[in-house]
Structure 1
Amino acid sequence: MQAQDPVNNDGTGWHQSHAFGDFCEFCHAGNVQATDKDAAHTGMVATLADVQASCGSCHAQDLEARAQVYAAALGVDFGKGGGGGATDGGQPSGDAAPTPQPESSDTSTSSSSVVVNEPDVIDYNARYEQTTSGGLNVNWGDVIVGVLIVGVGVGGGGFVYWNERRLRGATPAKPAPKATAVPVNVPAYPPEVVALMPQIAQLNPRGLYALKRLLEDPEDASELLHSLSRLDPEWVRRIRSLDRDARALLMGLAGD
């Protein structure tokens, strides 16, 4: 416990294969809670004195086969050879009576029905299987999260790449052709129309726009232009010089 006499590298197979947990008390008993050497060795028993109590919880299926290997290496009989109790100094005595062996069927049944559900409970059986077989404990939750992260990264990156290529490869829309004015064959028009062209060219943009809107309907334009031609330009200038109230009064009189 205090790492003063480590045995996990002493060359014995049983110490090396059980080094992943604090299993000294399972084979040798004693007080694992004590910090003093003499107190910790109080109540120790001989190795393999009771294999059912020591090893049955983890090796219920092949308990006797495993115990026989260690018993042959130690030169003792498991379950009854090698001595039992402990001396006053805490060392096992070779003359002590073997520890009574409990019913194996009950222990096997109870050990096989144990289900580890608490997250804080250490499953030494699983650790032993990992140590002996060299396998890894796969956390499927982490695997699923990793797959989702990779999938989102690959899918998002692929979409961005595809969208950029689509936008770059798109053919730009061709601008609509501008309406070109139909060339005018001047000699084909009467001389009166040709004579008006210099006067029309002197109009400002507002005048040209108004004339264009007016000429969209030639018949109405003819009547309106004929009516306007009968107006005296002097009257038009005088009316434009009136203020708003005077023009409103004049429009009222004209309406009556």
Structure 2
Amino acid sequence: MTVLSHADDLVASFHEAVRRAGDIALGFFRPGQRTTARVTHKEGGSPVTEADLLVDAFLRTEFARLLPDAGWLSEETEDSEDRLTRSEVLVLDPIDGTRAFALGEKTWAVAAALVRDGRPQIGIVHAPALKQSYVAVRGAGARLNGAPIQVSQLAALEAGSKVGAPMFLAEELRLAGLKFSLQPRVPSLAMRIVYVASGTLDAGFASENSNDWDIAAADLILEEAGGRLASLDGCDLVYNRVETRHGLLAAAPLQIYPAINHAMRRTRNAFEP
């Protein structure tokens, strides 16, 4: 198996492609104002913009040049069973946080991962409007704008701990006995997870229905920064399955993840009939 590093040409080319894709999206972004991109809605009502589709098409072309044998899984491309036959697959969310992007909020990102045998090997979450670029390579650490990052060294969640979570889920966790300070909403799930990786948040949570493209890149960044992203069963997440959807997730530093997972399981058991 090939071992990559941050200095590898593939990693550099992968990152450069994502940065260029971010510039495409940034051309349609207006801070504090509605995007200039055309906005339509998918079945179910979630928005998709002209910028999402242009980023998707650009990166599909660029990544096919870099990794012609890899499969493809993107939020904005019709899924194909062909990816299931590949040991490597490129997993992309062209704009994670499309609603925020469309309304002029800065916390959105291009999220891209190279997944091999079910786990990410390269992960990039690039937030052009914030001028933040998170990059991780398996076994080589995680970086923000080129500088190494690590998770919070907190020994346990306490009243002042900074947590990102949906409001209803935060209430469930408090009922389970966890204490924390709920931070303002982070519209991009990938950004919520990498904020845990950088120590900006002490922990983060996601309700059911996230997909591979929302979390694969951020998962690796968190892991390489000393954290864990996992579901209630506590197992590592597996990507490029038939079903791309995941359940309730917790992102936290390794030293506090077990206690958080225990609280999550306890509260969910209490809420189930």
Instruction: Give the TM-score category using the shorter length.
Output: under 0.3
- In the superposition, the TM-score normalised over structure 2's length comes to 0.22
Structure showing the higher strand proportion among its residues: 2
- In the superposition, the TM-score normalised over structure 1's length comes to 0.23
Structure showing the higher helix proportion among its residues: 1
